[in-house]
């Protein structure tokens, strides 16, 4: 879809993807674009965005609780202690995406991030948030980028510091989901309520 907003069942205009399923309606209205801070919370979003790579987000969204259970709530310190048995358990778990490269990247990322100072991941990620004043709301979905200079820079820095499976597109999806940017369409009823905020 490359058009503007679409009215939901309640008559409110939303981004087109935000009305396609009930799961998306809830996610769009209550989560997407709201600021997310905290190292564990950002590790979860980063991990889920990596698992989403090449798949539809709805596939991940509908399995999110299973992912959380499988990965100890995405608490960095706990995932960093996962053993080879945990890895095999994850690769046998039908409730998650059993992609070996993505599982291995998540485990490696936890081990790497466990060595960072508290708040370091949060500070690093948010340091790449662009000034909202320089980014007018997109008018149509065609105006929403897949990557930006900021997402390229964030991806490069995360990779430099040992974080895996975080290309510029994944980094931008993280920025959208966690409120670093506001990509709700200009006519969306939730555009003013959400978006990047300090």
Catalytic entry in 31, 57, 78, 116: 57
Catalytic annotation present for 27? yes
Catalytic entry in 27, 32, 126, 128: 27
Which DSSP string corresponds to the chain?
--S--EE-TTS-EE-GGGGSSHHHHHHHHHTTTS---SHHHHHHHHHHHHHHTTS-HHHHHTTHHHHHHHTGGG-HHHHTT--HHHHHHHHT-TTS---HHHHHHHHHHHHHHTTSPTTHHHHHHHTTPPPGGG-PPPSSGGGS-S--HHHHHHHHHHHHTT--S--HHHHHHHHHHTTSS--S-TT-TTTTTSS---
Catalytic annotation present for 34? no
Catalytic entry in 32, 44, 49, 128: 49
Catalytic annotation present for 49? yes
Catalytic amino acids? Answer: 27, 49, 57
């Amino acid at each position: 879809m490359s058009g503007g907003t679409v009215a939901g069942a309640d008559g409110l205009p939303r981004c087109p993807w935000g009305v396609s399923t009930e799961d998306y309606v809830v996610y769009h209205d209550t989560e997407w674009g709201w600021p997310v801070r905290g190292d564990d919370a950002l590790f979860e979003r980063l991990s889920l965005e990596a698992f989403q790579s090449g798949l539809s987000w709805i596939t991940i969204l509908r399995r999110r609780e299973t992912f959380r259970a499988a990965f100890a709530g995405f608490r960095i310190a706990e995932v960093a202690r996962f053993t080879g048995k945990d890895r095999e358990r994850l690769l046998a778990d039908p409730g998650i995406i059993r992609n070996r490269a993505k599982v291995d990247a998540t485990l490696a990322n936890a081990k790497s991030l466990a060595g960072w100072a508290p708040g370091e991941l949060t500070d690093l990620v948010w340091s790449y948030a662009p000034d909202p004043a320089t980014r007018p709301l997109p008018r149509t979905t065609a105006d929403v980028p897949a990557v930006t200079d900021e997402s390229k820079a964030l991806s490069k820095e995360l990779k430099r510091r040992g974080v895996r499976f975080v290309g510029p597109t994944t980094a931008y999806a993280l920025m959208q989901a966690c409120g670093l940017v506001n990509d709700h369409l200009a006519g969306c009823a939730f555009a003013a309520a959400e978006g990047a905020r300090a």
